[in-house]
A and B are shown apart, each in its own frame.
Chain A
Amino acid sequence: MILEALEREGVEYIFGYPGGANLPIYQHLHEHPKLKHILVRHEQGAAHMADGYARACGKPGVVFATSGPGALNLVTGLATAYMDSVPMIAITGQVASTQVGRDAFQETDVIGATSSVTKHSYLVTHISQLPRVIHEAFHIATTGRPGPVLIDICKDVQQADAERITPERLEIPGYQLNGHVDLDRAREAARALAGAERPVILAGHGVLLSRAEPELRTFAEKAGAPVGTTLLGIGAFPVNHPLSLHMTGFMGTGWNLKAVQNADVLMMVGMRVDDRVTARLADFAPKVKTFIHIDIDGSEMGKNVRPHIELVADARNALEAMTPHVSALHEGRGRWLSQIDAWREEHPLKYTHSNGRLQPQDVLIDMYRRCHNDAIVVADVGQNQIWAALWWNYDRPGMFLNSGGSGTMGFALPAAIGAKFGRPDKAVWCVAGEGGFVMTAQELSVAVEHQLDVKIVLLNNFSLGMVRQFQDDFYGGVRSQSDLTHMPDFVKLSDAYGMPAIRVDKFEEIGPALDAAEKTKGPFLIDFRIDPEANVYPIVPLGKSLNDFWEAPN
């Protein structure tokens, strides 16, 4: 009955791992050829694959795991999806309902362990609840602000016989969607922004989730307002657009931070305004007279920054409602845009490449030159993530995936595998540091088993680079436990998994290595041994304001 329900919900892939408490489901899997099951090597990998799948194709990712350790191994993956509002359904086996609470073999209170990292969760103790629960779960996971929903199903329920029951009409009194846009406020917001002397728009993941990129672009062009994105909002506005401010936040571009800190009206759309965006909150956007905040989740209003005009609405609906009300622009607008251009000249993105060592930016620039935006880049967490965010001119949504909110190391490889299942038509590049890569490297088996065209770009700096950079700059220069001295030979490791790989030490070898990766069918790994001293810039020192960003040394 569970599998039938999944078919009814249009599920194509399940990323899972069998075990004692979900064997009754697996027993019948072969009777449902429409459901393609991907056997992972660790449940965390399953959660990240489902996450990458969902981010890449927009459909909810589905995960199976057994009780106890199986379900607990999902927790990090659920948290990653929850922080970044990714739709996911996790179906976990639970011990028989008569055994619950007796500390049975592989029993864990999974609902208790996952409540804080799921949008909603269900414990199913009777077969009669199942059709409603599964139908509700998909609805809740995919609507409003999306997120993971967990269904914990007792083993005896999995084995129970039931007539095929079509789910009843959805009726969830505690789950109301914010459908309509307050038109008066939309007009007020549009006029405030258009009439501003120094407006700035910041766009977050919510713009991508509501597919509001065209509406954002139309609005921004009409209102003559520059647009920056958050790390998760990358792709919401083309980086090459004249009004683009590129990425904001504590590792954002200099001209973005200058614009934010000097803006008089700041519109934040589809974002949480977290500490990585504001840096020191008391000094965030100090000249702003009117904050406008648009988000589908009302709890984001005033959580960190209290808006003057708030619109609790879907980003696309809100922007659509606002655009017609943009009329007279402030006379000082031209001056503001020239000022931003001057800042762009004054504070360009740059990096050091005078020491003869392989620089990560050189690798990314060559990759971008080859595929432009016809590829999905899935980054891990750390320096590799920020380099991949800044050195690739994303011009459309869904081309850059990363764990922004939760910052989960080990995300990239399984998420890239999931993304490839979701978008087989796109080239998929996995960009990772060697530290995060080895956290989930066992999933190489999945890439090899399915001969997935996932190209792994390892930016190997023999250390936990971001930790090392923080220690150097903010923790007294004490390099504590950030050197990774005993790591595998990644070429041999790939060989052991049955996939080709090469090592690159020199600038001249970048091109031929990428050629080889592109020409090879199936997975391919390039171990780029980069400058171990390469750093991420710009960066705002910890605890400082956005005004205090450091740039790359000349």
Chain B
Amino acid sequence: MIETTPPQAPARPAPGSAEDLAVRVRVLSVLVDDGSNTLSKVSGLIRRRGFHVRSISVGPSRHPGRSRMTLTVDAGHAETDQVRKQLERLVEVIEIEDVTGQLVHSRELVVAKVRSSEVAGLLSRGAKVLDSGPDGTTVEFAGEGKDVGEFIDELLHHGVLDVARSGPVVMRKTA
């Protein structure tokens, strides 16, 4: 006898709770065709199926004519595996890997400008100074989501003038 899937997904935790988000939010690494329409097809599909994009990063992949997207998607009221299954239906999507909860390297990038020129507290966390002048200091920092969150808390002590932040880019740890 083959092991079969359970009849219904287990009961959902309270909406909005950390457990709930852990169930609903999927991190997907998606290899796509590099066409002019790909991004709108992917984002349009996510919207009309009732999902929500929490973050998206797109860049060239090692395959010519193809891009790598890292998507963090909230499945909303849908069954969570629908996010991957629906994306698989798109002809523009070539390969898709659900890396939620997997051992991955995950990096987000922050570029921030602070008023203070005293940024030792930021440097000690691993930030790099991009430039500094009388108007302030611009730094960059890359790390996992949690580290980035803590780094941004630290920024607040330095008089933040501007922040730009990317979504995560992920790669599975040694395959």
Contact = CB atoms under 8 A, between A and B. Distances in A.
Interface of A: 111-112, 115-116, 120-121, 123, 140, 172-175, 184-185, 188, 290-291, 297-299, 301-303, 306-310
B37 A175 contact: no
A299 B85 contact: yes
B7 A174 contact: no
B48 interface: yes
B90 interface: yes
B79 interface: yes
A12 B4 CA distance: 47
The 10 closest A-B pairs by CB, nearest first: A299-B85, A308-B4, A174-B91, A174-B94, A120-B91, A173-B94, A175-B91, A115-B44, A116-B48, A306-B8
B37 A123 contact: yes
Contacts of A121: 37
A252 B165 CA distance: 54
Contacts of B40: 112, 115
A299 B89 contact: yes
A41 to B, nearest CB: 31
A22 B116 CA distance: 62
Nearest to B4: A308
Given A299-B85, A301-B85, 6 more contacts: A115-B40, A116-B48, A174-B33, A174-B91, A185-B2, A303-B78
Contacts, number: 62
A297 B45 CA distance: 16
Interface in B60-118: 78-79, 81-82, 85-86, 88-94
A395 to B, nearest CB: 34
Contact of A299 (B2, B4, B41, B82): B82
A172 B40 CA distance: 19
A115 B41 contact: yes
Nearest to B80: A302
Chain A interface main SS type: mixed
A310 B5 contact: yes
B36 interface: yes
B92 A174 contact: yes
Interface string B1-24: 110111111000000000000000
A199 B9 CA distance: 23
Nearest to B48: A116
Interface of B: 1-2, 4-9, 32-33, 36-37, 40-41, 44-45, 48, 78-79, 81-82, 85-86, 88-94
Contacts of B90: 174
Nearest to B85: A299
19 contacts: A112-B40, A115-B41, A123-B36, A140-B91, A174-B33, A174-B94, A175-B91, A185-B2, A188-B1, A290-B4, A298-B85, A299-B82, A299-B88, A302-B79, A302-B81, A302-B82, A303-B78, A306-B6, A307-B5
B92 A306 contact: no
B10 to A, nearest CB: 11
Contacts of A185: 2
B5 A306 contact: yes
A302 B9 CA distance: 9
Contacts of B81: 302
Contacts of A175: 91
A184 B3 CA distance: 11
A298 B88 CA distance: 9
A306 B79 contact: yes
Nearest to B86: A299
Contact of B89 (A116, A188, A290, A297): A297
Contacts of A115: 37, 40-41, 44
Nearest to B78: A303
Contact of A303 (B37, B82, B93): B82
A16 B37 CA distance: 26
Given A115-B41, A115-B44, A299-B85, A309 B4 contact: yes
B91 A172 contact: yes
A250 B122 CA distance: 63
A301 B86 CA distance: 11
A120 B89 CA distance: 10
Contacts of B6: 306
A307 B8 CA distance: 8
Nearest to A302: B79
A79 B86 CA distance: 17
Contacts of A309: 4
B48 to A, nearest CB: 5
B9 to A, nearest CB: 7
Contacts of B89: 297, 299
Contacts of A120: 91
A308 B3 CA distance: 9
Contacts of A140: 91
A437 B1 CA distance: 54
A172 B33 CA distance: 10
Contacts of B33: 173-174
